[in-house]
Structure 1
Amino acid sequence: MKISKILRLVSLFVGLSCQISQAQVLTPSQARTDLSYLKRKLDLLHPGMGYYTPHARMEQLYDSLYNRLTSPVDYLTFFHHVSPFVAAIKDGHTNLNHRKNYIGKSTRFFPFYIRLVESQYFISHNVSSDTTLQRGTELLAINGRAVADVHDELMNADHSGSDGDNLTGRRQWSLIQFADYYAAWFGSADSIKITYRLADDSLVRQTKLKCLTLDNFRHRIQRRYGIETDRRPNLSVRMVDTLTHTAVLRISTFMGIKKKDPFQWAFNRRLKRAFKQIRQENVQNLVVDMQGNGGGIVMNSAHLLRYWMPKSFRIMDHEEMKKGARAELVTRWNPFSALNFSLQYRDDNRGGFASRLANRRYRPRHRDAFAGNLYFLMNGASFSATTSVLAKTLDAGMGTFVGEASGSAYWGDFAGHFKTVTLPNSKLQVRIPLKKLTHAVETERANGFTVEPDFIVTRSFDDLMHNRDYVLDYTLRLIREGIVVRPGVEKQMNRNRALQASR
């Protein structure tokens, strides 16, 4: 048999396998087994059950979902059925995900990036074959449904990146990754029908467009918009205004630079180089850009804070987890895991465990420490360890915050360690955080449930058309006008000296 025939047969077999897999139907018994399995795991492991949504309401919701599983249900419908229970936890670190390989090379995606300007949705990047749909085209409907309705459904179905009732994280992620959210919720589609209005045109039009595989999507984005790609490396510094001595420090993630680096030396070295450059260039106004930074390793957020915190500090007040989490961290195949667990955790006298290391203190750095004015660029996708930095800085009475509210809560979050459970029949996967992390901050110093901006900045149509970093532009205007909400360490000390001298 020729190679070409073999490849065609393999391709046909893979295609049929995918279709059969996606068309899976669960019996009522299988569906109920999966839902009850998920609830048991959440009750056993999740430290936030009942925190944002009362236990009674969670039990009520579970009973309602369980009792409605009375007839066979296909895979995607069951995914939709489970979603409200996971979303009701209101924890941005708890994620409901499809089974392995459900989203793959053959999945076809919505062919645009879209952005919100006030209450209107516009195409910002078009990867479809219709090149007349240029930036600024208003998108009105998808398959006959108003875009706002579709967006609301996606936002309410997935609580990833937003804690509590905060909306900014869900809004940001569901727009930034609209194509991914759409495919995950509605399934892969060969084509979509859109209703739209071209820029500077009042005529409402309709067209049908093919959806793209991920490889084709990425290829066209690079070919059409490669010049707009943000290629700034993490922890990079650039001077943006020599007159006001202003620089931007871009922090896109707190994840480690190397896979095997438990003490995060590589991240720390790059951070040292950044602040050495900041000192050498006599930066007086430092813009810390953490827009879209979804977090990472708490130790790295502490390393960053050391460069401007005025005195020794703790990131966390305490860290705790349920009794059942121990079995996820202590394994038979690792004989040292039990010892390691005992060294790191102790009984909390409430049936769970508390971290022995939560009270670790970090000393400020004196060499290359920054004492000028700090401005933070933030949005709903500034989450987890990023909010830890924002909360600690706000608690210290420092910084000017610009953009929109962060995704995580000021008090802390549920994160640290994670367990991904796979439901036995559907194979849906749910990521469960194992630890409750409480920031070492004073509650009365909060400016909202999350860390809220001092200046709320939203995108204008002109910002969209010029692909402008409008939050940075607004911040640079504040700096040129000398507007500082909370001055840096040096100015605080000078102000305190002046007050003492006048008494």
Structure 2
Amino acid sequence: MKIGQTLCLTGLLIGMACLMAPAQTLTAAQARTDFTYLKRKLDMLHPGMGYYTPRPRMEQLYDSLYNRLTAPMDYLAFYHNVSPLVTALKDGHTNLNHRKNYIGKQTRFLPFYIRPVDNKYFISHNVSADTSLRRGTELLTINNRTVGDLHRELMDSDHSGSDGDNLTGRRQWSLVQFADYYAAWYGSADSISITYRLAGDTLVRQTRLRCPTLAGFRSTIRRRYGAELSQAPNLSVRIVDTLTHTAVLRVASFMGLKKKDPFQWAFNRRLKQAFKQLKRDNVQNLVVDVQGNGGGVVLNSARLLRYWMPKPFRIMEQEEMTRAARAELITRWNPLSALNFSLQYKSDKEGGFSSRMSHRRYRPRHKDAFTGNLYFMMNGASFSATTSVLAKTLDAGLGTFVGEASGSAYWGDFAGHFKTVTLPYSRLQVRIPLKKLTHAVVPDRANGFTVEPDFTVTRSYEDLMTNRDYVLDYTLRLIRQGVVARKPIPLRPLQASLSLPTVQE
């Protein structure tokens, strides 16, 4: 057979496999094997089993879900059966993901972004062929189910980005990525039926919309909304008010700026440039925008903190892992990995391991340090290493926090290193964190389970229609009135906040 024909046949077979994959059926024995395998891995590796949900409750839930596996079931039904066990951990770093290529080029997504105002849901960006669905269209139902009901189900199906019983992270991600969550939970659909009300109209209308592929979605949204969707680069500075000497530092991620940069030098250089600019421009009020920052490298969060922390500090009080996690950090192909592990970790009283490096101290930067008023714009997607920055700043008695509660806990989280477990038959993937990271903070200085806002700000309908940055708008009003939550300015007392209008969702 010629090479061209072979490649063509191979491509056809792969394409058929991708089309057939969603229809996979698991026998009861296969489903039980996968489920037992996952439970064993969680018990062995996860450092937070029993932390948020007591172990007896986890065991009861496991037994209940296992006992349902008595007959063959399709792949998506099994995915739904596994989800409650993973979400019961209430750990935002533990993620249940579909098997490889389940979500792919042929997957079709809902053709719009939605945003909430009060208890209603509105289309903010439309990529469907029906251009009458402009911003401000109230979305009532999708395939005969209310949007509110769908949103609650999607929130409950995935605990990613939200620790404990905190709802802000789950609410934020399930709305920002509503189309992704919908496809993951309900599967790909060629089209959907919706009911809606146009802006300024009371008539309930109904239509059917074709769902685009990811490529089609991206192409249309760039063409229709490209200018307003462009975001400021990570670690960029912009002056937003010359009268009050106010600037915004956008910190979109604590991940490295370059793929091959193990020491994170590029991030450190860009950070230095940002604070040199702040000093050069005589910025007195700094707004640190960490909305949507899902975290990254703890070293980079420490580097940011160095620019305003008043004295030497530690990020972590303790880093712990289970006994079995050691095997995940030692690789056969690297003979030095065992030695490296021994240098970094030691046995602890619980039978696991703790880090020898968690007590590392960081010195504040004196050159280019920021000594003015700090404001943080945050939301539920401010997670992991981002919450570390917020918690350490709060612990130091600094900052004014604006927006909504962060996604991670004030005390710390489960993260550090990860193991992705692939279930034998379904090929579902579960990412398991291997470390319990405890922040070096004083518990009594917490303002809630997470880092809570001093000023809660939510979207209004006018904010939606004008695409206004309503959190920044509110923060600038605080600055202009001299309101500082933890470093009151004598000339403008904190009571000035009482004159601020309440921003309603």
TM-score after normalising by structure 1? 0.95
| C-alpha RMSD of the superposition | 1.8
**CA–CA distance in structure 2, aligned partners of residues 77 and 167 of structure 1:** 25
Find runs of 4+ consecutive structure 1 residues off by over 3 angstroms: 1-15
Report the equivalent of 1:305: 305
**More displaced 10-residue stretch of structure 1: 235-244 or 252-261:** 252-261
Map residues 394-433 of structure 1 onto 2, 5 A cutoff: 394-433=394-433
Map residues 191-230 of structure 1 onto 2, 5 A cutoff: 191-230=191-230
**CA–CA distance in structure 2, aligned partners of residues 192 and 443 of structure 1:** 49
Counterpart of 1:307 in 2: which secondary structure?
Answer: coil
Are 1:30 and 1:425, in contact at CA under 8 Å, matched by a contact in 2?
yes
Match of 2:147, as an amino acid?
V
Report the equivalent of 1:235: 235
Counterpart of 2:50 in 1: which secondary structure?
Answer: coil
Q: 1:193-238 deviations in whole A, cap 9, x for unaligned?
A: 0010000000000100100000000000100000102331100000
Distance 1:198 1:370, change over 3 A: same
Is residue 464 from structure 1 mapped to residue 464 from structure 2 by the alignment?
A: yes
Match of 1:286, as an amino acid?
L
**CA–CA distance in structure 2, aligned partners of residues 10 and 219 of structure 1:** 29
**CA–CA distance in structure 1, aligned partners of residues 2 and 252 of structure 2:** 50
Map residues 68-467 of structure 1 onto 2, 5 A cutoff: 68-467=68-467
Counterpart of 2:59 in 1: which secondary structure?
Answer: helix
**CA–CA distance in structure 2, aligned partners of residues 418 and 271 of structure 1:** 27
**CA–CA distance in structure 2, aligned partners of residues 43 and 217 of structure 1:** 40
Match of 1:34, as an amino acid?
D
Counterpart of 1:350 in 2: which secondary structure?
Answer: coil
Match of 1:179, as an amino acid?
A
Counterpart of 2:148 in 1: which secondary structure?
Answer: helix
Instruction: Tell me the number of residue pairs that the alignment of Structure 1 and Structure 2 aligns.
Output: 491
Per-residue deviation, 1:331: 1.1
Are 1:374 and 1:487, in contact at CA under 8 Å, matched by a contact in 2?
no
**CA–CA distance in structure 2, aligned partners of residues 149 and 349 of structure 1:** 46
Q: 1:47-74 deviations in whole A, cap 9, x for unaligned?
A: 0000000000000000001111000010
Report the equivalent of 1:38: 38
Per-residue deviation, 1:478: 0.5
Distance 1:3 1:106, change over 3 A: farther
Match of 2:37, as an amino acid?
Y
Match of 1:353, as an amino acid?
F
Per-residue deviation, 1:264: 1.2
**CA–CA distance in structure 2, aligned partners of residues 350 and 262 of structure 1:** 32
Counterpart of 1:109 in 2: which secondary structure?
Answer: coil
Match of 2:92, as an amino acid?
G
Q: 1:54-97 deviations in whole A, cap 9, x for unaligned?
A: 00000000000111100001000000000000000000000000
Per-residue deviation, 1:19: 2.9
TM-score after normalising by structure 2? 0.95
Counterpart of 1:324 in 2: which secondary structure?
Answer: coil
Per-residue deviation, 1:262: 2.0
Counterpart of 1:249 in 2: which secondary structure?
Answer: strand
Report the equivalent of 2:55: 55
Per-residue deviation, 1:11: 6.6
Counterpart of 2:435 in 1: which secondary structure?
Answer: strand
**CA–CA distance in structure 2, aligned partners of residues 329 and 8 of structure 1:** 41
**CA–CA distance in structure 2, aligned partners of residues 448 and 167 of structure 1:** 13
Per-residue deviation, 1:350: 1.7
Counterpart of 2:295 in 1: which secondary structure?
Answer: coil
Per-residue deviation, 1:265: 1.2
Per-residue deviation, 1:12: 5.3
**More displaced 10-residue stretch of structure 1: 135-144 or 259-268:** 259-268
Q: 1:389-428 deviations in whole A, cap 9, x for unaligned?
A: 0000000000000000000000000000000000000000
Distance 1:341 1:129, change over 3 A: same
Counterpart of 1:359 in 2: which secondary structure?
Answer: coil
Counterpart of 1:283 in 2: which secondary structure?
Answer: coil
**CA–CA distance in structure 2, aligned partners of residues 318 and 78 of structure 1:** 37
Unpaired runs of at least 5, structure 1: 496-503
**CA–CA distance in structure 1, aligned partners of residues 5 and 203 of structure 2:** 50
Per-residue deviation, 1:298: 0.4
Per-residue deviation, 1:10: 6.6
Counterpart of 2:160 in 1: which secondary structure?
Answer: coil
Counterpart of 2:324 in 1: which secondary structure?
Answer: helix
**CA–CA distance in structure 2, aligned partners of residues 305 and 20 of structure 1:** 50
Counterpart of 1:233 in 2: which secondary structure?
Answer: coil
Unpaired runs of at least 5, structure 2: 494-505
Per-residue deviation, 1:21: 1.2
Distance 1:142 1:11, change over 3 A: farther
**CA–CA distance in structure 1, aligned partners of residues 8 and 456 of structure 2:** 55
Report the equivalent of 2:476: 476
Per-residue deviation, 1:15: 4.1
Report the equivalent of 1:498: none
Match of 2:234, as an amino acid?
N
Are 1:372 and 1:487, in contact at CA under 8 Å, matched by a contact in 2?
no
